[in-house]
Structure 1
Amino acid sequence: MTTLVRRPARGPLVALGVCAAVVLIAQIPFLRNRLFYVWDDSAVQFLPTWHHLGDRLLDGDWPPLLDLDSWMGGNIAAEALFGIWNPVNLANYVLVSQFDDLAVAAVVVKSEFLALLALGAYLLCREYGAGRGPAAAIAIALPFSGFTLYYDAATWAAGLMAFTWLPFTWWAARRAARGAGSPLWAFLFGALAVTTGNPYGLLGVCVVMTALLVESWLKRDRGALVRLFVVGGLVALLVPLVYLPLLGSSAVTVRAGQGFASDGVLMPRLSELLNMSVISHQPMIKGFGHSIRMLTPSVFFAWFVVPLLPWLHWGRIRARWRPLTGAFVVAALYLLLALGPSNLWMFRFPLRHLEVVYLAFGVLFAVLLTGGPRMDHVRQRLAFTAVALLLPAYLAFAAGSWQWRHHLIALALSAVGTSLVLWLARRGRAVGMYGVLVVGVAAGLFAQTSWFPFNGDVAVHHYSRSIPELKAQTPPHKGTTFPVGTALPGNVGLVAGLSSVGSYTGMSFRDFSAAVCMVYHGGTCAGSFDRIFAPTTLDGRALVDLIRVESVVVENAIRPDVQPPPGWRVSFRSAQETVLSREQPLPWPGGRLSHATAGVRVSEDVAPDDRDESVRFTKPRGQAGALAFARLAWPGYRAELDGRELTTRQGPAGLLVVDLPADVDSGRLTLRWTPPGLPLGSALAVLSLLCVVAYAAFTWRRTRRDRIEVPEERPKAAELSSTGV
């Protein structure tokens, strides 16, 4: 009697290998340019804020809804994109806070998310029936596609975090729809995508759910439709928690580029897709400023996709179009979004959508490549391959003829790699063939980071990424500091020990930014110096007093030979900047109170945290009064005087002012800030969690009771492949 020995499943090992390969390949850009992953917004917004939020979390401050010292960028709940409700984000913020070098922290965190993205893509390809080899090749290539690497990973980190959870959501939701997986997983990954706070994550969940509904409807699977509606509805209950604070704060804020418009910025043309496999191609796409050509390979996908198109098993589309409908729908919808308009409400820069198009394309490619390239009609396929190599190479040359050497190298690498893949496939060496695809990804990335070592399409910020060096380079100052110019850009002050009024924000507080001449990245104009020292309508007090500024850092290049106003002195001067400091300390050091009108005497001001404050005062009965605070009047403030609710209003520059009634002579004023919509959003989130647990338990019990074996709908690799790889 022959004993059958079950061989261990190779799937988990391949998935682990995919993650390991991506982590290793992700170090190539870092080795070529140590600052590759801490660039533009990552340099001035994400990494410094992550480090700061990590410190606050370790101090027990959760959720970190408000950071008063960040001023316009301090409404963390309304900013949304920091994902304060996302446990993976929070864990990474704590991790980042343990690093003294932001460049190293960046490569660690972003390698993690690139590996997770690859794992999700691998699982999704396998779910649609792709073999392990093609699924692994696509999964490893996707994180290093042009936009995902040079924009999401290098600069716009919130986009990478949101995109990472999309293939997981798609995979888990499809499994739940066909009854092969628990709806709990689909909810979990959908929740992670939504709670990143990036609206592109929410958009992705909506599109994926729509695509799966269409796929299930075509298969006449009513059970799948019900399961998708339930899971999608439960994920939707989390949306108010994330976005109601943003919508509730919109009355006092402005965001650049909202509405509907088409200015052509980052709008790819359909013809650019012909160059998705050319590693040297710089697309003719309008960038920021006056740029008409991108300085990065932003439409690149994978070096092997276009050359191998003639060798795919195209007949599978006709045979299996219904199970593949979801991928077609996602690709079609995102392709439409990628073509424009350039501004669509909260969604700007259509090039962002191209990476999801490539995810859907990758799924289809992996399915069609399963079993290896077709080896019939070799001469005709070779002719088409030659065209697929030469035509994109010529288009890349036509778009940037002065870089002809790069294009020749790119063509040579593609031609050699494709030839080697086909040679190994013809000899049945599937493992070697897919290995060449992966090695080609690394080789192509090495070439790209030699030619394009950083994202030249976005802003470059020159400052040390070492926190000890930043602190040593920060000019001597005291207390809250107002920047005149851009001495330290964005949120860098959060890790440099500088409590700066300037900060990076996705939504500017309209009245404050106008009053002090501050832009979204925290810099100010030369005229801001005169503005903050000018008298205001509040008893003639200057803004510099109402904001409780103790130091003013002036960039000498924009305001040379600055002289201190009365009550101020020059405390530090260098070739780059001049620091002015107060001669006398500010009153009420225990809180944020900055001014009390005539007749109002304050005996105590205490602010135990950023959201709460209490002031004890006395004043003549029959006389009205007002208290002004060094707080922006974000919607959500509630003021009470010994249990009696008072109204709050905006004072000069949008600062919070509370009017005291005339019929009282003393009392304790208490302030409490709650983000708009937080109670409702929290209640719906709790309801969502309870419902999904109950639904998952119900599904599990029904399956166990009925003992229904749900047939595997997705074809196994062996059904598509002669090699089984």
Structure 2
Amino acid sequence: MRTLVQRPTRGPLVALGVCVAVVLIAQIPFLRNRLFYVWDDSAVQFLPTWHHLGDRLLAGEWPLLLDVDSWMGGNLAAEALFGVWNPVNLANYALVAQFDDLAVAAVVVKSEFLALLALGTYLLCREYGASRGPAAVVGIALPFCGFTLYYEAATWAAGLMAFTWLPFTWWAARRAARGAASPLWAFLFGALAVTTGNPYGLLGVCVVMAALLVESWLKRDRSALVRVLVVGGLVALLVPLVYLPLLGSSAVTVRANQGFSSDGTLMPRLSELINLSMASHQPMVKGFGHSIRMLTPSAYFAWFVVPLLPWLHWSRLRDRWRPLAGVLAVGAAYLLLAIGPSNLWMFRFPLRHLEVVYLAFGVLFAVLLTGGPRMDHVRRRASITAGALLLTAYLTFAAGPWQWRHHLVALALLAVGGALALWLARRGRLVGTYGVLVAGVAVGLVAQTSWFPFNGDVAEHRFPRSVSELRAQTPPHEGTTFPVGTVLPGNVGLVAGLSSVGSYTGMSFREFAAATCMVYHGGTCAGSLEKVFTPTRLDGVVLADLIRAESVVVENALRPDAQPPPGWRVSSRSAKFTVLSREQPLPWPDGRLAHATAGVRVTEDVAPHDRDESVRFSKPRGQAGSLAFARLAWPGYRAELDGRALATREGPAGLLVVDLPADVEGGRLTLRWTPPGLPLGIALAVLSLLGVLAYAGFTWRRARRDRVLVPAERRAPAELSSSGV
């Protein structure tokens, strides 16, 4: 008797191929421009901070909630976007810390997330019924759509991390809703999306869960409704852990452009979507500053979409609109968000929503392309395609006529690539068709990175990306350094060995920024030199003493006349910087105590951790006093004097001050900082973990019981088939 051997499914191999293809294609921008993935915020905020946090993790520090030496940017719990509760983020920080070259670290980490995004998109397309070929094509194309590549991957890395987990969450939640997979997977991916700390990830989870509720309701599936509600509710319990510190700190911070307004910044028009296949198109969208046209192809999706639109199986929308209702709902919701207004509370720049529109449209495209392009009415379809290509080419030319050569190349890609793909499909060679579509993604990216080798819509920062080279070029200094001008932009000082008071922050600290004339990227104005040496209302102590600054580095182009005040000296002078240093060391070197009022004698000050400090003091009974610390007075500080609670307050420049009661002669003052809402957030997170484990166990037992009760020959074919990828 011949033994039948079941052949392994090709699904995992196709999924692996999708990831490998994306990793390879992702190297094209890097080969064109070595700094492509370490640009703007990635250069001055994300990569340096990742490297720094990775060093701290490898040194055994966790959780990473506060970095007092980073000052305005040091409230990591409230900044949220570094995802300090996300295990994948933390693992990548430890990885980045192994690199000396931040540009290489960037291409490694971002290739990883682009590949994961492609895999999630592929799985989502398969979940909605697309065959492997179209699902793979869309999965490979989506990571290289204009906004995702030029903004999320190149600059706003937290957005890429959040977007990556959205298709996984959608895929796993839909499978859980129809009882095909454990709710643990939906919870896991939803948790990863939420804990990235980017609010767009949270928004995406909410919209996807709402869309699945609509889909379940239209199918009259009450069990699916319950499953989505339970999983969504359990993921929602993680939100306080991530965002309560942000909300609890908002009273002292500055969040630019909050509320509801519309100034047109990064707000695309619907007409721009007509050109989503033209690789050379620069949308007429208001950028930063006074720009009226974007310098990147930020509205681009994929070259093959417009050429193939007339050849898709559009009748499937009519026949399968209920199963596809979730896709339609997500696409419609995000399309409304993408066209404005430009400011909705903490959600700015509506162009950010366009990539989710393309995700939803990509799923529909893959479903409608399944089985290959339609080959009936060839002349009619070819005429429609030709007209669509001419229209999109003309609109692209009208937006930038001086780049007509680029537009001709882009049009040739659409025409030649589309014709070749259709020719292969007509001969039944669908694998060849899908291969042409994928090859066109790479060819289009080669052209785009030739025309647009970097994101010209955002800031360019010119400094070495090598950690060792940065350290060698950092001005000589001692201890905590106050910058006058821009010494190193953003958080670059974290890897350069510069303990700068200036750092990149998305929140800022209102009083400190005003007192020092410091902006969000850590630079200061020319008047900061006087501000830091001006006596404050706290016993006339100058701000430089209150922040325990040991060096002041002055940018000569901003202040060529810098002279040291009494007690300071010029320790170094170069063509670019003048460095002022203290003549005498600061007291209390083991802690962050900056000043004790007259009559208060400090015998010990120890700060074993950024969140804790202990001061032993004595003073005459009946005399009040105060202690000022080189710490920003973030909400969450608690002071105790030998177990007795004391109030904390903001001192000059928003620094932390503790007033000592008059009825004591001394004792040990302890400071401890806990992010606002953290205990509640942890409790709810533990509850969510226990809840999902219990719910997963319940669904597993119920599914096992149903399999026992229903004979195999009576089960639905879909229930018996493999759920492979």
TM-score after normalising by structure 2: 0.98
Q: Report the CA distance between 1:2 and its aligned residue.
A: 6.7
1:9 alignment partner in structure 2: 9
Are residues 714 and 392 of structure 1, via their aligned partners in 2, closer, same or farther at CA, if it must alter by over 3 Å?
farther
Q: Which residue of 1 aligns with 2:340?
A: 340
Residue 128 of structure 2: aligned partner: 128
Measured in 1, the distance between the counterparts of 2:50 and 2:128 equals 36
> In 2, distance between residues paired with 1:396 and 1:25?
25
Q: Give distance in 1, aligned partners of 2:56 and 2:415.
A: 53
CA 1:716–1:297: 2 relative to 1, 3 Å: farther
Q: Structure 1 CA distance, aligned partners of 2:347 and 2:718?
A: 36
Which residue number in structure 1 is paired with residue 706 of structure 2?
A: 706
SS, match of residue 501 in structure 1: coil
Cα deviation for residue 7 of structure 1 reads: 2.5
Q: Which amino acid aligns with 1:677?
A: G
Report the counterpart of residue 720 of structure 1 in structure 2.
Answer: none
Tell me what 2:91 maps to.
Answer: 91
Q: Is the 8 A contact 1:313 1:374 kept in 2?
A: yes
Give the match for residue 312 of structure 2: 312
Q: Distance in 2 between matches of 1:257 and 1:55?
A: 34
Per-residue deviation, 1:23: 0.2
Q: Are residues 1:441 and 2:441 paired?
A: yes
Distance in structure 1 (CA, Å) of the matches to 2:412 and 2:323:
37
Partner of 1:651: 651
Q: Helix, strand or coil: the match of 2:669?
A: strand
Secondary structure of the equivalent of 1:254?
A: coil
Note the 1:72-151 alignment, pairs <5 A. Answer: 72-151=72-151
When residues 711 and 197 of structure 1 are mapped into structure 2, their CA distance, relative to the original with a 3 A threshold, is farther
User: Which SS does the other structure have where 1:307 is aligned?
Assistant: helix
How is 1:500-511 mapped onto 2 (pairs within 5 angstroms)?
Answer: 500-511=500-511
- What are the equivalent positions in structure 2 for 1:43-442 lying under 5 Å apart? 43-442=43-442
Q: Secondary structure at the match of 1:35?
A: coil
| CA distance in structure 2 between the aligned counterparts of 1:8 and 1:541, rounded to whole angstroms | 75
Measured at CA, do residues 713 and 223 of structure 1 come closer, stay the same or move farther in structure 2, by a change above 3 Å? farther
Cα deviation digits, residues 364-406 of structure 1 (max 9, x gap): 0000000000000000000001012111111010000000000
Q: Distance in 2 between matches of 1:471 and 1:323?
A: 57
Instruction: Give how far 1:100 is off.
Output: 0.4
Q: Distance in 1 between matches of 2:497 and 2:205?
A: 39
- 1:548 is aligned to 548
In structure 2, what is the Cα distance between the partners aligned to 1:280 and 1:258? 34
1:588 equivalenced with 2:588 (yes/no): yes
Q: Which amino acid aligns with 2:239?
A: V
Secondary structure of the corresponding residue to residue 505 of structure 1? coil
Structure 2 spans left out of the alignment, 5+ residues:
none
Structure 2 distance, partners of 1:273, 1:290, is 23
Contact kept in structure 2, 1:275 and 1:392, CA below 8 Å: yes
- Pairs within 5 Å for 1:566-645: 566-645=566-645
Question: Does the C-alpha gap of structure 1 residues 322 and 474 become closer, same or farther in structure 2, counting only changes over 3 Å?
Answer: same
Question: Residue in 2 aligned with 1:695?
Answer: 695
Q: Amino acid of the residue matched to residue 289 of structure 2?
A: G
- Secondary structure at 2:384 match in 1: helix
- 3-state SS of 1:295 partner: coil
Offset at residue 713 of structure 1 (A): 6.8
Please tell me the residue identity of whatever aligns with 1:484.
V
CA drift of 1:206 comes to 0.2
Where do 1:433-512 residues align within 5 Å?
Answer: 433-512=433-512
CA distance in 2 between partners of 1:310 and 1:52 (Å) = 51
Shift, 1:256, TM fit = 1.0
Q: What secondary structure, in the 3-state scheme, does the structure 1 residue paired with 2:295 have?
A: coil
Determine the C-alpha separation between the residues in 1 that align with 2:425 and 2:305. Answer: 16
Q: CA RMSD in A?
A: 1.4
Q: Are residues 248 and 114 of structure 1, via their aligned partners in 2, closer, same or farther at CA, if it must alter by over 3 Å?
A: same
Question: 1:571-606 deviations in whole A, cap 9, x for unaligned?
Answer: 111111111000000000000000000100100000
Letter in 2 for 1:365: F
Deviations 1:253-294 (A, max 9, x none): 011121111000000000000000000000000000000000
SS in 1 for 2:464: coil
Instruction: State the one-letter code of the partner of 1:481.
Output: T
State the one-letter code of the partner of 2:38: V
CA distance in 2, matches of 1:563, 1:16: 62
Contact between 1:616 and 1:669, CA under 8 Å: does it hold in 2? yes
Residue by residue over 1:296-322, the C-alpha shift from the partner in whole angstroms, topping out at 9 and shown as x without a partner, is 000000000111000000000111000
CA-to-aligned-CA distance 1:143-169 (integer Å, 9 cap, x gap): 000000000000000000000000000
Alpha-carbon shift at residue 4 of structure 1 (Å): 4.5
CA distance in 2, matches of 1:608, 1:5: 63
Kept after mapping to 2: 8 A contact 1:128/1:714: no
Whole-angstrom distance in 2 between the partners of 1:361 and 1:388: 18
Shift of 1:60: 1.1
CA distance in 2, matches of 1:33, 1:703: 53
The answer to whether the Cα contact below 8 Å between 1:191 and 1:235 also exists between their aligned partners in 2 is: yes
**Cα distance in 2 between the residues matched to 1:476 and 1:258:** 40
Q: Secondary structure at the match of 2:313?
A: coil
| Separation of aligned partners in 2, 1:331 and 1:602 | 63
Task: Give 3-state SS (helix, strand or coil) of 2:307's partner.
Answer: coil
Give the C-alpha shift of residue 715 in structure 1.
14
Structure 1: distance between partners of 2:721 and 2:430: 17
Aligned partner letter, 1:115: A
**How many angstroms apart in 1 are the aligned matches of 2:720 and 2:389?**
32
Report Cα offsets for 1:193-237 as digits up to 9, x if no partner.
Answer: 000000000000000000000000000000000000000000000
Q: For the structure 1 residues 711 and 677, does the alpha-carbon distance in structure 2 shift closer, same or farther, using more than 3 Å as the test? A: farther
CA distance in 1, matches of 2:590, 2:658: 18
Q: What is the Cα deviation at residue 444 of structure 1?
A: 0.2
Q: Distance in 2 between matches of 1:703 and 1:190?
A: 23
Match of 2:559 in 1: 559
Identity %: 84
Partners of 1:716 and 1:293 in 2: how far apart? 51
Alignment partners' CA distance in 1, 2:342 and 2:716: 44
Between the aligned partners of 2:717 and 2:519, the Cα distance in structure 1 is 55
SS in 1 for 2:305: coil
The secondary structure found in structure 2 opposite 1:249 is: helix
1:308 aligns to what SS in structure 2?
Answer: helix
Deviation track 1:97-121 (CA, whole Å, cap 9, x = no partner) reads 0000100000000000000000000
* Greater shift in the superposed pair: 705-714 or 519-528: 705-714
Distance in structure 2 (CA, Å) of the matches to 1:54 and 1:404: 47
Per mean C-alpha deviation after superposition, the further-off stretch among 699-708 and 116-125 is 699-708
Name the SS for the 2:649 alignment partner.
strand
Kept in 2: contact 1:128–1:715 (CA 8 A): no
Q: 1:716 to 1:114 in 2, by over 3 A?
A: farther
- CA displacement 1:661-692 (0-9 Å, x = unmatched): 00001110000000000000000000100110
Report the Cα distance in structure 2 between the residues aligned to 1:329 and 1:408, rounded to whole angstroms.
36
Distance 2:624 2:580 in 1: 35
SS in 2 for 1:683: helix
Partners of 1:164 and 1:277 in 2: CA distance: 22
Deviation at 1:714, TM superposition (A): 11
Contact persistence 1:129–1:715 (CA under 8 A): no
Query: What SS is found at the alignment partner of 1:363?
Result: helix
Cα displacement string for residues 239-264 of structure 1 (whole angstroms, at most 9, x for unaligned residues): 00000000000000011121111000
- Residues of 1 paired with 2:295 and 2:474: CA distance? 33
Say if 2:692 is the partner of 1:682.
no
